[in-house]
Amino acid sequence: MTSNEISKQYAAVSAIYEQLKDEIVFILETELAKSGIAVHLIEGRVKTWNSLLDKARRQELEDPLEAQDICGIRVITLFMSDLEKCRKIISEVFEIDTVDEKISEQPETQFDYMSNHYIGKLPESFSGPRYDAIKDLKFEIQVRTIAMHSWATISHYLDYKSQNAIPTHLRKEFYALNALFYLADSHFEQFFQSSQEAREITLEKSQSEEGISDEEINYDTVRTYLRQNYRDRRSGGPAEFSKIVDELVAADYQHISELETDLQRAEPAFKSYEVETKSYGHFYDVGVVRISLEMVNPKYLEVRRSIYAGNGIDYPAPYEKYRKLISP
């Protein structure tokens, strides 16, 4: 078959590979989300004809269409521990022919082009009109962390494709940068694991007789306290929890006990406000806290007003009539 004939054949099947790419991306997004694995990015591409020709020449393929990575998918994870989770899902969902775990097999002195590579196809269970044209086509999935991806992207831009290609006087700096990316990956993983453990400890303590009243104000303690005490309210979510922690610290709250005391004092006033304004159930957990503290703590109210003033908004906080209901 001539190069021109192969080119025409590729043009005919490239749209099918695009369909395959979209399907694999959709499956991965769905399965990873179901498993609770947060990833930075899932992206796919279909090799262009020129790129395919270049690869065929490098690998001495008689037919460029024999390449197994015409359709390529990349999964960029946040943490190193996610790599193994992704491996399990990929192995369970797809029919994998070849596994090249470059990360675990890489020498300790290297951090070069580190990705886990999987060559596979859709399993036989994927049948019907949606899959008939794509079910026998091969694809490649690459999985790497965001730090590995950053290193691969930058080092690729530098054009040094091998260690021997690096000028001798630059190698020390190159290896040092290499090590820094690896160190970042390792420390992000350690920090992530430590933060998960801290949240579990906070949750366990909150459910014990001891409670978390003596704990400092931070994201984990405030989030746990609010979810424990306002279970009938919708959750404000991570962004709002972070904002309210900043507001509490700015208003000189140091421990959960101080927050708890003021919320208890303001409870009758807030309930009256909610009834009279016919807004019961309208406020999220963070909304209850904000209005309650605005009623009971002048310094917190000033913090809130300064935030609104920064956005050019006058914040009246019309709670004066309810303050008489605040417990001493």
What are the residue ranges of helices labelled H in 207-326? 219-229, 238-250, 256-276, 285-296, 298-310
- Do residues 217 and 255 touch, judged by C-beta distance below 8 A? yes
Structure tokens at 287: 């909304």
With b for 16 or more beta-carbon neighbours within 10 A and e for fewer, the 244-257 pattern comes to: bbebbeebebeebe
DSSP-derived secondary structure letter, 255: B
Question: How many beta carbons lie within 10 A of that of residue 290, not counting itself?
Answer: 21
The Cα-based distances of 218 to 42, 48, 150, 227, 284 in angstroms read 32, 50, 31, 14, 19
pTM of the model: 0.75
- The sheet carrying 71-77 orders its strands as 39-46, 71-77, 139-145, 116-121, 95-101
Strands 95-101 and 139-145, sheet pairing = unpaired
Whole-number Å distance between alpha carbons of 204 and 113: 41
Predicted confidence pLDDT, tens digits, the chain (328 residues): 566 666 777 777 889 999 999 999 999 999 999 999 989 999 999 988 888 778 778 877 777 777 888 999 999 999 999 999 999 999 999 999 999 887 655 555 554 557 899 999 999 999 899 998 999 999 999 999 999 898 888 877 776 656 677 788 887 887 788 788 888 999 999 999 999 999 999 999 999 988 999 999 999 999 999 999 999 899 988 999 999 999 999 999 999 999 999 999 999 999 999 888 877 668 899 999 999 999 999 999 999 999 988 888 888 778 888 888 887 7
Reference 147, options 85, 198, 79, 197; nearest CA is 79
What φ, ψ does residue 234 adopt, rounded to 5°? -70, 150
Distance, CA of 192 to CA of 78 (rounded, Å): 10
Backbone angles phi, psi at 74, to 5 degrees: -125, 130
Q: What's the pLDDT at 268? A: 93
Domain boundaries, the chain: 3-170, 212-325
Asked whether 127 and 135 are in contact (CB, 8 A), the reply is: yes
The reported pLDDT for the residue numbered 110 is: 56
Contact 145/76 with Cβ under 8 angstroms?
Answer: yes
* In the block, residue with structure tokens 């009109």: 129
CATH class of 3-170: alpha beta
